[in-house]
């Protein structure tokens, strides 16, 4: 309230992923609508400054333009004790809005909005928290005459799905209502992004947010310039948004190429049947912007927690880890802290900074912790089937009934369905090097099947069983399966 009514100079510092970029977009749009005369945004450089609010990134942010009166850290800052102290010494008010786990001691910010501080609401991403904060301010002032907060629900939905927070309670409402708005969105940047993403006339779903729009915005921060995503979401210029959407699409293709190289080399290092409970691989050939995606793919394939580390010429490694249900990566990293320069994140996904010479030590400590504190059944991969279908179930009516359970995501997974006696119609096709597409038939019903990351796992027999999810594709007017397994 003081910053808005006092017309203070405000600097928004946010993370470079989808949640950070969406949070910065909503906050800037809201503050401008309230009449704030100067609102700047800043995103750190992943390669040069690393993740979050670091001293290097802070120095660069403060060197651009006049000293701000208020500094707002979004999707970062919870553990930035030294950085916040520096801001306070300079006489700058500090507001942190974040959802990452808390450190001890906590930074001496003027206000720290983080659901981890209480016993409720741990599930919000920062985009959802910013929405709640702006909404609370509006309610305190008696209305929304300057800014209709509902207009950004499509952005909140994007951040919520992309940041993999549970789709429960308010998050479920955010995504459900956000998808409704996205179908007819007036947001120019999102419209252009849907065009280059191939969404076409299909009704947007959680898949649209998590696998089509989200990766393209993230691509800027991973292998290009994260500001491209922020500028896309803030711009009202049709020519500019078209250019930025194409640029992000190209960066996403580059990300896919770098990811394929790193994944292939990491697979060779891991081997076909890894014996370790946790996987740790490192190389100086990998781009640090793709290690998180590679870690996720290895963890999913081998059903092991996995850390993938990109080493630089200075002997430092930046790594990303992905876990499994039933274990906490943050607990594991606390046990490994003696050999780490730094770490942070969530129970399911985390980042580390490590000296190249201590990677083997880290791997040893990780194995010891996993053996001592994680139950063996956590590492047993299962694929529970929710419903076994017959071909007669592949109707628009059944698809509509299943869609009533949406939106799907973490905390509300899409039901896993099984269909038996499936046969090929024609030859399967590989696309984008990793993925599989084919026409199939079961009980006289023909349908399309897509298997992401199934290029090397093509069904090799007639009459196989198919597991996955399916929808009625309005574009082709027929069933369309997303395969997760076959036997």
38 has a pLDDT exceeding 70:
yes
Instruction: Mention every residue, 6+ apart, whose C-beta is less than 8 A from residue 348.
Output: 164, 322, 323, 329
Residue range 381-385: mean pLDDT, rounded? 84
pLDDT digits (tens, 9 = 90+) for 61-120: 999 989 999 999 999 999 899 999 999 999 999 999 999 888 788 999 999 999 988 766
At the topology level of CATH, where does 276-378 sit? Diaminopimelate Epimerase; Chain A, domain 1 (3.10.310)
Q: How far apart are CA 478 and CA 203, in angstroms?
A: 14
236 has a pLDDT exceeding 90:
yes
Single out the residue of 213, 289, 227 nearest to residue 256, CA to CA. Answer: 289
Q: How far apart are CA 43 and CA 194, in angstroms?
A: 24
Q: How far apart are CA 459 and CA 466, in angstroms?
A: 9
Q: Does domain 2-251 have CATH number 3.90.1640.30?
A: yes
Give the number of other Cβ atoms within 10 Å of residue 163's Cβ. 27
Q: From the centroid of its chain, how far is CA 362?
A: 26
Helical packing angle, 170-183 and 153-162, nearest 10°? 120
386 has a pLDDT exceeding 80:
yes
Single out the residue of 259, 350, 361 nearest to residue 307, CA to CA. Answer: 350
On average, the pLDDT of the chain sits at 91
Residue range 374-390: mean pLDDT, rounded? 89
Residue range 358-363: mean pLDDT, rounded? 97
486 has a pLDDT exceeding 70:
yes
Q: What percent of the chain has pLDDT over 90?
A: 66
Q: How far apart are CA 402 and CA 412, in angstroms?
A: 13
Q: Which CATH superfamily is domain 387-486 in?
A: Nucleic acid-binding proteins (2.40.50.140)
Per-residue pLDDT band for 143 (boundaries 50, 70, 90) equals low
pTM of the model: 0.86
Q: How far is CA 384 from CA 319, 401, 402, in A?
A: 31, 20, 17
DSSP helix/strand/coil, 442: strand
Q: How far is CA 264 from CA 257, 268, 305, 309, 451, in A?
A: 11, 7, 18, 14, 19
pLDDT digits (tens, 9 = 90+) for 443-453: 888 889 999 88
121 has a pLDDT exceeding 60:
no
Give the pLDDT score at 184. Answer: 93
Q: How far apart are CA 91 and CA 260, in angstroms?
A: 47
The ranges assigned to domains in the chain are: 2-251, 276-378, 387-486
Give the pLDDT score at 145. Answer: 64
Tokens (6 digits) for 9: 């100079």
Give the pLDDT score at 229. Answer: 97
């Amino acid at each position: 309230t003081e910053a808005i009514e006092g017309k203070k100079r405000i600097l928004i510092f946010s993370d470079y992923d989808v949640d950070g970029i969406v949070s910065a977009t909503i906050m800037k749009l809201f503050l401008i609508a309230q009449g704030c005369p100067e609102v700047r945004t800043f995103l750190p450089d992943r390669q040069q400054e690393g993740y979050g609010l670091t001293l290097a990134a802070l120095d660069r942010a403060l060197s651009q333009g006049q000293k701000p009166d208020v500094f707002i850290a979004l999707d970062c800052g919870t553990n930035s004790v030294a950085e916040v102290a520096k801001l306070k010494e300079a006489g700058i008010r500090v507001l942190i809005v974040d959802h990452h786990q808390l450190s001890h001691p906590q930074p001496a910010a003027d206000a720290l909005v983080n659901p981890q501080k209480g016993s409720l609401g741990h599930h919000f991403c920062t985009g959802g928290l910013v929405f709640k904060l702006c909404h609370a301010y509006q309610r305190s002032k008696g209305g929304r005459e300057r800014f209709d907060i509902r207009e950004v629900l499509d952005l909140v939905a994007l951040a919520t799905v992309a940041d993999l927070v549970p789709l429960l309670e308010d998050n479920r409402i955010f995504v459900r209502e956000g998808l409704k708005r996205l179908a007819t969105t007036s947001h120019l940047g999102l419209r252009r992004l849907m065009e280059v993403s191939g969404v076409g006339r299909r009704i947007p779903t959680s898949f649209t947010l998590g696998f089509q729009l989200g990766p393209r915005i993230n691509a800027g921060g991973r292998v290009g310039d994260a500001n491209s995503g922020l500028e896309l979401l803030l711009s009202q210029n049709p020519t500019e948004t078209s250019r930025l959407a194409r640029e992000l699409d190209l960066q996403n293709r580059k990300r896919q190429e770098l990811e394929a190289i790193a994944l292939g080399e990491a697979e060779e290092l891991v081997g076909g049947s890894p014996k370790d409970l946790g996987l740790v691989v490192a190389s100086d050939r990998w781009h640090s912007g793709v290690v998180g995606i590679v870690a996720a793919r290895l963890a999913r394939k081998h059903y092991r927690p996995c850390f993938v580390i990109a080493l630089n010429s200075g002997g430092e490694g930046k790594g990303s880890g992905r876990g499994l249900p039933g274990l906490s990566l943050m607990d594991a990293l606390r046990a490994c802290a003696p050999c780490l320069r730094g770490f942070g994140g969530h129970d399911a996904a985390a980042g580390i900074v490590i000296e190249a010479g201590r990677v083997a030590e880290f791997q040893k400590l990780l194995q010891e912790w996993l053996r001592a504190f994680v139950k063996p059944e956590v590492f047993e991969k299962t694929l529970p089937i929710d419903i076994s279908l017959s071909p007669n179930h592949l109707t628009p009516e059944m698809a509509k009934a299943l869609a009533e359970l949406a939106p799907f995501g973490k905390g509300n997974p899409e039901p896993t369905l099984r269909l038996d006696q499936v046969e090929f119609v024609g030859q399967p096709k590989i696309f984008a090097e990793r993925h599989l597409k084919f026409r199939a038939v079961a009980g006289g019903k023909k349908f399309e099947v897509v298997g992401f990351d199934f290029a090397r796992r093509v069904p090799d027999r007639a009459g196989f069983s198919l597991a996955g999810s399916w929808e009625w594709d309005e574009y082709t007017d027929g069933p369309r399966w997303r395969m997760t397994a076959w036997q």
